[in-house]
């Protein structure tokens, strides 16, 4: 059942929605998650507890931090009479419930920690005098303890650095946090924790002769009284001149792994996705490089690893070795031996048949559209892996999926979005990993933009039944593209002709409706009308149409003049005699029709995001 209320903020959904994207495909359902609107870049985190129940924490549009339990109840974690103070967020599932961590100024500046079991909802300050900044992680172990690593700027530390990493542990039994331990210099708190409570922390540090990646191991054995569970000496993993924020640690069985995006060369465009593993608790490390993506700038990285040495990495990446022009794409790499060897990088999007969609031998039309922020998870069926990502091939953002039945070795990719919601934009954030497996299939925490300004969003949950996963694996689905047929081209010619006829007649209220919705969302009709009418068109003939995916280039021969007018800003009289020129405009296939992309010629600005 679909029940919608149109509001000033956009479309609010009440109750569950279930959509089939194409005839016969099993339905994916959509449910609202967060009760409140968020800024488009608002931070959130999600985690499952040991019983598989999903917990969610997020900042609403007023920057108030909220915790949502599996039953849908939400509570504010900060007083509701203030804003702009809390920042940063980490959430981790516990044996029963979840723990949240954030930085705040109230009641005093510090790092705050709260478990969902806390009855008085009074958070504990765990950062002490470390001057914590808004970057931290929390990881729970099988004992129920939560390990905390954060970035602080306390001066005068013996490391000689202004920027250091600190560790603390929340003991479920007390419950209380241990005193902060200075770990090492760094700005990215990267840590992984084994169920036993063993901890490995990582950091990149600059040095006179180039940077280095370090690890420090902290065993769980012994306990505080024995003095054994202290961080051991730092170990150099590798020499790396620079790293980006793409740094990720995880385990595969008993093996520790750390992956980073390094920057090499004077121009720092020699991007190298590389890593190292250790089987002796960080005493020694073996380095590896994922050279298929050398020169590719990575914007996001998520990991799925099981206990049987299977690892799948999914990344957002684009080649920036020579320039900054290419669009982002999504890739997967896998290992069947816990990272000792790695596969080639596989583009998760299915290449498009050239003859069907207007591509050329040199360029797949998919390369014209961004894809980003993939998430990945192993399923309940051995060997099954599901990857989902945000894809702009339909000009709007949609969620697409790919399935592997052999632990990531080969993939089947959907050519249609998981949900086809007319007029909606569904996206994913670069973190956290947003896909959660269950016995019934998978759940994905996605972001639904409130409108085409793409300024606000609301979190939603997509439930993907196992039957739909089977359909993806079998290649079901239909492309959102119109095709490159003569019928489609003729329809576009007619639509472009109608647009130009309205332009000639000065019917600008009509021409406004031909423009892309992202422009119209930001530029109301009255402002558009105020900018139109200076140029008088006497003739417009659509001459050529070229389609690639959901983009078309339309060539139109026009005759136009500028009658004399006075510039409002300078008083200058301006006019131009009639002349004939050919203009090329881009038209877009959106929501089942062709719309003209609005471009601010002087600034080369468009309002679309693909």
Partner 1 sequence: MFAKNTLASAVAAAIGVSAVGVAQADSVFFPYAAISQTVTTIASVINTTANNWDQAGNIATTHLHYRFYYKSGPAVNDLLAPCEEYNEYLPTSQYDIQTIDLGGIFAAETAGVMFNDPSINNKWAQTGRDYAFGRNVAPARGYLYVDNSDGTVTDTLAGEAFMFEFGSGAAWGYQAYNSDTASYIPAASESPSNVAIMPFDEITTAFFVTPVDGDQAPDFANNYRARVEFVTSARGDLYDRDENLISGTIPQDVVCVGRVEAADMLSDGTRARVVDGGWARLWNYRVVPNATATSWVPAEFAADNSAVISPSADRNDWDDGAVVIKLEYNLGGTLNGESVGGVFNNSIMFAPE
Binding site for partner 1 (CB under 8 A): 39-41, 87-88, 133-135, 151, 153, 163, 187, 204, 206, 211, 242-246, 261, 263, 265-269, 271, 297-300, 316, 318, 320, 324, 328, 430, 453, 455, 522-523, 527, 531, 567-570, 572, 574, 600-603, 605, 607
Task: Please check whether residue 263 is in contact with residue 243, taking contact to mean a CB–CB distance below 8 angstroms.
Answer: yes
Rounded CA separation 154/127 (Å): 11
Pick between residue 9 and residue 121 the one whose CB is nearest to partner 1.
Answer: 9
Q: What is the largest CA-CA distance in the chain?
A: 91
CB of 123 to partner 1, least distance (A): 19
Nearer to partner 1, 525 or 600 (CB): 600
CB of 453 to partner 1, least distance (A): 7
Question: How far is the C-alpha of 96 from the C-alpha of 28, rounded, in Å?
Answer: 28
Output the smallest distance, CB 598 to partner 1, in A: 11
Nearer of residues 297 and 357 to partner 1, judged by Cβ:
297
What is the four-CA torsion angle of 290, 292, 294, 298, rounded to 10 degrees?
Answer: -80
C-beta of 378 vs 518, nearer to partner 1: 518
Question: Least CB distance from residue 274 to partner 1, whole Å?
Answer: 15
Stated as kind and residue range, the H or E segment containing 354 is helix 354-357
Cβ distance to partner 1 smaller for residue 206 or 475: 206
The answer to whether the CB of 332 falls within 8 A of the CB of 316 is: no
Q: Tokens standing for 467?
A: 């039957």
Helix H segments across 421-516? 466-473, 486-505, 508-512
- For residue 247, the minimal CB distance to partner 1 (Å) is 9
Identity of the residue, 36 or 254, whose beta carbon is nearer to partner 1 in the bound complex: 36
DSSP for 191-217?
A: EEE-TT--EEEEEEE--TT--EEEEEE
Shortest CB 297 distance to partner 1, Å: 5
Nearer to partner 1, 7 or 41 (CB): 41
> In angstroms, what is the minimal distance from the CB of 529 to partner 1?
14
Q: How far is the CB of 131 from partner 1 (least distance, A)?
A: 9
Q: Where are the alpha helices (DSSP H) in 389-546?
A: 466-473, 486-505, 508-512, 517-522, 525-531
Q: Which is nearer to partner 1, 289 or 354 (CB)?
A: 289
Please identify, using beta-carbon distances, which residue of 341 and 603 lies nearer to partner 1: 603
- What is the rounded distance in angstroms from the CA atom of residue 109 to the CA atom of residue 118? 21
Centre a 10 Å sphere on the Cβ of residue 71 and count the other Cβ atoms it contains. 6
Residue 305 sits at φ, ψ, to 5 deg, of -140, 135
Closest distance to partner 1 from the beta carbon of 292 (Å) = 17
Written in H, E and C, the secondary structure of 95-130 is CCEEEEEEEECCCCCEEEEEECCCCCCCCEECCCCC
């Amino acid at each position: 059942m679909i029940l919608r209320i149109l509001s000033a903020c956009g479309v609010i959904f009440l109750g569950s929605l279930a959509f089939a994207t194409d005839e016969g495909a099993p339905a994916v359902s959509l449910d609202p998650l967060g009760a409140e609107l968020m800024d488009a870049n608002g931070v959130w985190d999600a985690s499952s507890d040991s019983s598989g129940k999903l917990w969610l924490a997020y900042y609403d549009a007023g920057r108030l931090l909220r915790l949502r339990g599996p039953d849908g109840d939400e509570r504010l974690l900060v007083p509701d009479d203030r804003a702009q103070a809390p920042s940063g967020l980490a959430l981790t599932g516990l044996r029963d419930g979840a723990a949240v961590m954030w930085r705040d100024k109230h009641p005093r500046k510090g790092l705050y920690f709260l478990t969902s079991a806390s009855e008085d909802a009074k958070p504990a300050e765990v950062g002490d005098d470390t001057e914590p900044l808004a970057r931290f992680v929390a990881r729970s172990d099988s004992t129920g303890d939560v390990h905390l690593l954060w970035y602080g700027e306390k001066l005068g530390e013996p490391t000689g650095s202004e920027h250091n990493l600190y560790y603390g542990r929340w003991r479920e039994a007390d419950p209380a946090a241990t005193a902060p331990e200075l770990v090492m210099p760094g700005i990215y708190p990267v840590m992984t924790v084994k169920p036993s409570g063993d901890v490995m922390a990582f950091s990149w540090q600059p040095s006179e002769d180039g940077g280095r990646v370090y690890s420090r191991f902290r065993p769980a054995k012994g306990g505080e009284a024995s003095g054994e569970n202290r961080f051991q000496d730092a170990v150099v993993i590798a020499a790396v001149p620079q790293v980006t924020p793409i740094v990720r640690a995880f385990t595969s069985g008993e093996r520790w792994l750390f992956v980073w995006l390094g920057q090499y060369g004077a121009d720092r465009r020699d991007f190298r996705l590389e890593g190292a593993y250790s089987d002796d608790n960080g005493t020694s490390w073996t380095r590896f490089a994922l050279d298929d993506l050398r020169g590719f700038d990575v914007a996001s990285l998520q990991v799925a690893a099981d206990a049987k040495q299977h690892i799948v990495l999914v990344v957002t990446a684009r080649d920036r070795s020579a320039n900054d022009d290419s669009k982002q794409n999504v890739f997967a790499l896998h290992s069947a031996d816990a990272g000792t060897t790695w596969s080639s990088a596989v583009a998760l999007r299915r290449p498009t048949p050239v003859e069907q969609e207007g591509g050329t031998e040199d360029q797949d039309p998919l390369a014209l559209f961004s894809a980003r922020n993939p998430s990945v998870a192993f399923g309940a069926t051995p060997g099954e892996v599901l990857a989902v990502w945000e894809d702009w091939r339909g000009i709007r953002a949609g969620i697409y999926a790919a399935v592997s039945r052999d632990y990531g070795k080969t993939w089947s990719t959907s050519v249609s979005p998981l949900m086809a919601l007319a007029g909606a934009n569904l996206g994913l954030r670069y973190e956290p990993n947003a896909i959660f497996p269950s016995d019934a299939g998978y759940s994905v925490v996605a972001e639904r933009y409130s409108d085409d300004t793409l300024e606000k969003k609301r979190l939603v949950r997509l439930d993907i039944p196992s039957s739909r996963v089977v359909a993806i694996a079998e290649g079901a689905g239909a492309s959102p593209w119109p095709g490159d047929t003569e019928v489609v081209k003729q329809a576009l010619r007619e639509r472009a002709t109608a647009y130009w006829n309205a332009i000639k007649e000065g019917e600008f209220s009509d021409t406004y409706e031909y423009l892309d919705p992202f422009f119209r969302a930001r530029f109301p009709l009255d402002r558009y009308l105020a900018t139109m009418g200076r140029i008088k068109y006497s003739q417009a003939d659509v001459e050529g149409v070229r389609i690639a995916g959901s983009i078309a280039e339309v060539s139109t021969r026009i005759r136009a003049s500028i009658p004399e007018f006075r510039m409002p800003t300078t008083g200058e009289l301006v006019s131009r005699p009639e002349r004939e020129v050919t203009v090329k405009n881009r038209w877009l296939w959106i929501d089942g029709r062709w719309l003209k992309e609005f471009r601010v010629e002087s600034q080369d600005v468009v309002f679309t995001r693909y």
